[in-house]
Chains A and B, each alone.
Chain A
Amino acid sequence: MKTYRGVPASEGIGIGSIRVYGYIDILSTIPSDCKAKDKSLEEAKLSRALSKYKDYLASLKRVLPPTDWELLDAYELMADALVNEAVEEVRSRGVCSELAIKAVYEKYSKMFRESGSELIALRESDLKSIASSLVELVSGERAQGATLIPGSVLVADELYPIDALKLARQGINGLVTRRGGVTSHVAVIARNNDIPYLIVPSINLDEILELEGKQAIVDSIEGKLIVNPSNDLIEAYSARLKCYKRLKEKAKRYAFLRATTIDHYSVDVLCNVGNVEEARIASTSGCDGIGLFRVEFLYMGNKPPSSDTLLNVFHRLAELFKDKPVTIRAPDLGADKPVPYIKLEEQNPFLGLRGVRLLLEYRDEILKPFLEAYLSVASRVNNLRLMLPMVSRVREVYEVAEIIERIGERLGVKDPSQRVSLGIMVETPAASMMLDKLAETSYVEFVSIGTNDLTQYVLAVDRTNARLSKFYSEFDPSVLRTIKITVDQAKRYGVEVEVCGEMASKQYAVPILVGLGVDGLSVNPPVVGLIKYTISKLEAKELKNRLVTRLLNLSESEEVLSEVKKYMSEKEIETI
């Protein structure tokens, strides 16, 4: 038995036998004397494989941002050309379809390599990925499931999104990769398909390869991969998995209900999403709207998006949610989201030109085109809200309001800055401390607390520094006190308060945030039901008078967590 620590990229528990993916080169396993028994059958197989491959590409397009579509188009063209020529190979040399694909791949990969041109962005590895996928699709027909046993725990060095999608459809119990990111395309695909996915940088694939077929547990709640576990442990985890599934089932029943505490205090449960496809999925999750739409994906190309692209996205969002609110955050660029067309050389990007500061600095290039598109859609629908990222000074709100006013006038919108439902993110201690002054501007209708950044700034802990991760906790009393100040000030001025950081998606944070008096929680779509279930088992008055007062007087985040856990178990609230 061996345990690895990892980072959960898609929550859940998976138990199954280990399969290593993509480590053995599938092309090298094709026998060199593989002949076609029936040429027309081989041809038919090739064309079926091609159309399946194209289906995958089309599904990927729905998940990935438009900036990646060009590459997918290139893949489609390459797959077309590869299969066409493979058909010729089958006809003229009578080889089986796998060998035909391999022959074509080898011919061009050699040419690609020899051309020596550094300009070929479509590298040989892309061609190899396409050829391997096609071979798999062809052989899949020959021996169903030979390449993959459904219900396995899949381990890979790194996955192409297309492989992730393919595996998700074949049904795996868990996914582990050595490389990858929590916000990567693969993570999104895993979450959408309910597959526990853990990123384990310390894994040794040679070691794992020897354990192929043995059992493994992916605990993507606590962040553990256990290979070759004892029978007792498998039993314990099977029981946990059952509880987890039961609670998920229960949560589903709450997803489409209004979240109301026992003492009739209603809380909006909204969703955080990062592109239109995620928004579409969220619109079926039961959430009460979008609390945070991240537009950054539109800005990651070589230039800012065209106004048509922006208009199209805003229109689709407004339509998807009809009378439910959709909160669009102005692009939060800089810091950990650099863009190629703005060169920032900074010693300390997290304290640098980012969020609304960057927007105002580059107002002609980014802010004005964005607001123009936003206003022209928002003035014709009634459910869009606008949110400013990383506000740290009161004048930033005035400056943006003035720009809105001018653009609105030009577009013929009456009283633009009053008609726009404007909100700010509270991510800096400054915004929290100055919330009364921000509210007095009369422009701010709502605030949303971004706990990820707020925690890093309150604690002065870089959230991307792994060595500091033990110091980083949203449950730290200092963070809770900052949230309390924010909520109290907002309430005094009749400004709505939501929380949109990761904290809102954590079940143990719900009693705290509801007790502090927030009006809404914006969460990841898969946990909408769970968060609503939790809210419905709580009593707001009691939380405020008993639990929260006690928590605010503690010193350590661990103490806060253990108090909350105790409280929830006393109330017989099931937790994951």
Chain B
Amino acid sequence: MKIVEVKVMNKHGLHARPAVKFVQLASNFKSKITVCKGGSCADAKNILKVLSLGVDCGDNITLKVEGDDEEEALKQLTHLLQVVLPSEDRE
């Protein structure tokens, strides 16, 4: 299992469009992926649970990934959170 902490940098956090992109990307992997904020955790492939976490810009979240493709999954998800989503704010 891989665990990593990420600071959410994009304007809209994990709401609306960014949440959809996050869940879509997570769903591409076989690994079990969990996203946690504070004490609560959610299945990263479930949009309703991810939305209910209420992740805002500036929040620290923890990604836990477990499975065959855990490394690739973690790489792509952190790239999405740290590079892709913040760059879309600027467009």
Contacts and interface: CB of A to CB of B under 8 A. Distances in A.
Contacts of A73: 20, 24
B12 interface: yes
A108 interface: yes
Given A117-B56, A303-B91, A78 B16 contact: no
A111 interface: yes
B47 A121 contact: no
Q: Chain A: interface secondary structure?
A: helix
Interface in A169-208: none
Q: Which among A81, A85, A108, A303 has the highest number of chain B CB atoms within 10 Å?
A: A81
Interface residues of B, number: 17
Contacts of B13: 119
A120 B16 contact: yes
B54 A122 contact: no
A80 B26 CA distance: 14
B48 interface: yes
Q: Which among A84, A104, A117 has the highest number of chain B CB atoms within 10 Å?
A: A117
Given A81-B46, A117-B15, A122 B51 contact: yes
Contacts of B54: 115, 117
Contacts, number: 53
Contact of A74 (B47, B52, B56): B47
Nearest to B23: A77
B32 to A, nearest CB: 14
Contacts of B48: 78, 81-82, 85, 104, 108
A201 B44 CA distance: 44
A111 B91 contact: no
B91 A115 contact: no
A237 interface: no
Nearest to B54: A115
A82 B52 CA distance: 13
Interface in A72-99: 73-74, 77-78, 80-82, 84-85
Contact of B20 (A74, A85, A108, A111): A74
A344 B59 CA distance: 37
Contacts of B49: 81
Interface string A111-129: 1100101011110000000
Interface of B: 12-13, 15-17, 20, 23-24, 46-49, 51-52, 54, 56, 91
7 contacts: A70-B20, A77-B20, A77-B47, A85-B46, A85-B48, A115-B52, A120-B16
Interface of A: 70, 73-74, 77-78, 80-82, 84-85, 104, 108, 111-112, 115, 117, 119-122, 302-303
Given A77-B47, A81-B46, 15 more contacts: A70-B20, A74-B16, A74-B17, A74-B20, A74-B47, A80-B47, A108-B52, A115-B51, A115-B52, A117-B15, A119-B12, A119-B13, A121-B17, A122-B16, A302-B91
